[in-house]
Structure formats: C-alpha cells, structure tokens
Amino acid sequence: MEKTAKVEVNRDGTQRGLTNLAVQMIAFGGSIGTGLFLGAGSTIHRTGPSILFVYAIIGGFFFLMMRAIGEMLYADPNQHTFVVFIHRYLGSNWGKFAEWSYWLELILAAMAELTAIAAYFQLWFPTLPAWLIQLAFLVGLTLINVAVVSFFGKTEIILSGIKIITILGLIIVGAWLVVTHHQGISGDQATISNLTRNFTLFPNGISQFIFAFPMVFFAFQGMEFVGITTAETKQPRQVLPRAINQIIGRILFFYIGSLAVIMMVSPWQQINASQSPFVQIFELAGIPAAALLINAVVIIAAASTLNSAIFSTGRHLYQLALESNSRWMLPLRKISVKGIPLTSVLFSAALMLGAPILSLFNQLTTAFTFVASVSGDIYILVCILTMLAHWKFRQKTVGQEVLFRMPAYRITEPLTICFFGAVFVSLFFSSASRWPAIGAIIWALGFAAYLKLGQQNTISRLERDKQ
C-alpha cells in the first residue's frame, strides 16, 4: 500500500478516503428511508406501542449480524463487500448465489427509490414527466459517485444529516408538546400516558404482531452498507468497530424515539394512518408549510438511499469481477485515476435506468413491484448465509487473536440464524408476502440448477478435451 498526500491508495488503485462519520452516514442513508417519514402511522396502527419491542428485538439481532460482519472485515479489511466471506467460507456456489442476488436486490431497491423520488417531486411539479425527474437524479448522483470517494462521503454526510436533523426535530417538538400538555393530533392532551394507557402486547391480535417483524426487518436493511465501505475507509481497524458499535444504538434511538414521541402526542388508535405523523406533529407546533417540508425531506431521504445504493452496487459488482474468470467481466475491474471502480459503478447505474423506462409503461409496475418484493425476501437468505459464513470463519480461526469479536457467538449466532429463519417463515402467513417468498425460493432453486448445469457442462467439456 502506497500513500499519496492525504489518502491511502490500495494495491488495486482504490482509495481510503472515507471517515468514521461518512461510514456511519452511509449506513444511515441505507437504513433510514422514506418509510419512517411517511409510513410511521401505518406501522403504529399494526401493533400499537408494542411496535417498539419489535424494533428493539430486530435491532438487537441486526447488531449481532453487524458484529459478525465487522469481525470478518476486521480480520481482512481489504475486501470490497462482506458477501465475499460467503464465497470464501461456504463455497463458490453459495457465494455466487449470495453475491449476484444481493447485487440484483440493490439494483431493484435503487429503482424503487427512483420511482419514489419522481412521485414526491411531482407534488411540486406535476407537469414534469416522471422519467425526466428520475433520469436527472440518477445522472446527478452517479456523477457524485464517480468523483473521488471522499466527495461521495461528504455528500452522504449532508443528505443523511438532513434526515437526522428532521428526526431530532420531531423528537424535540413532540417532547415539547408532551411537556406543555399541548392538544395532540386527535384533540386529546399530549401526555406520556398515551403511550402506556390500556397497554396490551397484541392489540390487533398476535398475527399482526408477527407480521410486523418482516416489515421492521426490511426497515433496517441497508445498515450492512458499512460492510461495503471498509476497503475505502481510512484506518479501517479503528473506524470499523466504532462505526458498528455506534450505528445500531443511534438508529434504534431515531426509530424508537420518534415512534414513541408520536404515540405520546396522541393515542395510537387516533393517529391518521394515511398521513405522515411528522407532518401532523409539525403542524401542531405551528411550523408553516409542514407538508412541503416533509416532502422535501422525503425526497432527500430517497436520494440518500439511492446515493448509497449506487456506491454499494458498484463496489459489489467490482468484487464479483475480481472473482470471475469470465473475459466479459474483465472491463468491470477498471479503476479510475480517482480510485473509483468506474465501469462497475456506471454499469450498475445504467441498469437503474429501468426505473425511468418503467415509468413509461404503467402496466409493468405490478410486475416490477413483485420482482422487487422477491429480491427483498432474498435479502433475508443472504443474512442467514452471512451468519453461517461467520460460524465457519470462527471455526477456521480458532486460536487467532482478533480484537473485534461477535459477543458469545456460540450462543448468539445460532439464535440469530434461527431468528432470521423465523422472519422468512413468517412471510408465508400473510397473503401479501406469501407469493414473493415463494418467488425467492424459486429463484434460489433456479440459481442452484443453473450452477449445477454449468458445472456439468464444464465436466463434459473437460472429458471431451481429454479424448
């Protein structure tokens, strides 16, 4: 590794330009999206105050997964994605399935964010075509991503920072309404007792409580982006432990704190599920144009998530190219003079052009929604494989000193794997999520069959060459 003036340059030409703050903001950018600002009301209506327990439980298991990812990356901080460890410790077939599936899932998630950006932007400019809005945001954020990595990090600090300031603003304003016993959203008095009065764990039945788990699980998706920044982070063995240990607590604070304050300002049964609670609370506090303010924040939130997705897909595809022997993948290994895996970033971004194309054909929207849901469900399988890879990692590194460990892994790892498995199984108990879950299984089986066929063809070709 050689050094330039301020930035370390890796052997492959990528640069370590991301700071601890940038790494944390990238994780915020991925895991705190539009759902919190717009969908908090419907989230609360599912289980009432017990939704806080769901967030706490899933947050705890995500922390364990992040510690597992952090431990593997701490031991080898030169990897561009945490998914590479699945390939290394579970075999090439599992690795290819996880790597390609995760990359595709990120592409589809980015397309969904582009769709959301266009919808919210059209509230201000209804005559602008959706495809033009999507194209403008995609090109702008791609240009940011092909600049030096430190510039991308600074951009994400600003975008994620706006989201954080908005959430803190909600918590402060809501707390002020409660302390002053202000009239709440529904006309009732804002008070802490709104959160605890007549509390039951399953106010809408145990089924709604169970269905809340996959919904909240996907809310945390994107936190693992920390595991895609390590190879481009300054002093990774110092930054990585701090980032992982701090990020989970802060995300839980923002999620649980904002939801708790919302339910204190008004009894949860009275909250309008069809309107953003952020808008409702800011309007109560007399903040002018609250709806316009939140619409702007939602656009920024979606742009932040998209920005992180472009970064992550580019690094992920670059790692795939490094592992591939295919001559078609060789161009994707190109590193620009600024230390960016240029062709991988541009190719991934080009696939995201599917969003503006879809906007021209509304009849394809349903199909895209289904495919995106399938890919989201596959993410759970990738999480399970990541934990299994970490288990193998620990078995193969017995006796080696690593200063950043997953706590009590012999107990916590099996619990985490079982929990992630239970979340996936819970998808089959809802008609809305059952078919995407079946689609995820079909994708996994089809991918396995494809790899098997490829291996058989390779063996047959080798046998013919021998003859």
Q: Are 335 and 232 in contact (CB under 8 A)?
A: no
Looking at every residue in the chain, the average pLDDT score rounds to 88
Can you give the pLDDT at residue 1?
Answer: 43
| Residues contacting 215, CB < 8 A, separation 6+ | 43, 46
**419-434: per-residue pLDDT in tens?**
999 999 999 988 889 9
| Model confidence, pTM | 0.91
Of the given ranges (66-75, 273-282, 311-320), which has the lowest mean pLDDT? Answer: 273-282
**Positive/negative CA dihedral, 258, 262, 264, 268:** negative
Can you give the pLDDT at residue 438?
Answer: 94
Per the structure, the complete domain to which residue 167 belongs is given by 2-466
Indicate the burial class of 238 (C-beta count within 10 angstroms; 0-12, 13-18, 19 or more). Answer: exposed
**389-398: per-residue pLDDT in tens?**
999 999 988 7
| Residues contacting 374, CB < 8 A, separation 6+ | 436, 439, 440, 443
**157-206: per-residue pLDDT in tens?**
999 999 999 999 999 999 999 999 888 777 788 899 999 888 889 999 99
Q: The domain spanning residue 186 has which CATH number?
A: 1.20.1740.10
- Distance CA(20)–CA(235), nearest Å, equals 9
162 phi/psi in degrees, rounded to 5 = -65, -40
- According to DSSP H, which parts of 266-364 are helical? 277-284, 290-323, 342-351, 354-359
Question: Comparing C-alpha atoms, which of 250, 205, 284 is closest to residue 66?
Answer: 250
- pLDDT for 6 beyond 70: no
- Distance CA(48)–CA(40), nearest Å, equals 11
End-to-end CA distance of the chain: give it in Å, rounded.
Answer: 47
Name residue, tokens 């709604």. 208
- According to DSSP H, which parts of 124-183 are helical? 130-145, 149-179
Can you give the pLDDT at residue 265?
Answer: 92
Can you give the pLDDT at residue 342?
Answer: 94
Indicate the burial class of 378 (C-beta count within 10 angstroms; 0-12, 13-18, 19 or more). Answer: buried
* pLDDT (mean) for 394-420: 89
The winner for highest mean pLDDT among 26-30, 188-192, 382-386, 403-407 is 382-386
Of the given ranges (179-188, 255-264, 329-338, 408-417), which has the lowest mean pLDDT? Answer: 179-188
Question: Comparing C-alpha atoms, which of 138, 114, 145, 94 is closest to residue 315?
Answer: 145
**Cα dihedral 95, 97, 99, 103 in deg (nearest 10):** 180
Can you give the pLDDT at residue 4?
Answer: 43
Domains of the chain: total:
1
Can you give the pLDDT at residue 197?
Answer: 87
Q: Extract the tokens encoding 360.
A: 């021209």
Q: Are 69 and 226 in contact (CB under 8 A)?
A: yes
**11-56: per-residue pLDDT in tens?**
888 888 898 888 888 887 778 877 788 778 888 988 999 999 999 9
- pLDDT for 456 beyond 90: no
**309-366: per-residue pLDDT in tens?**
999 999 999 999 998 888 899 999 999 999 999 999 999 999 999 999 988 887 677 7
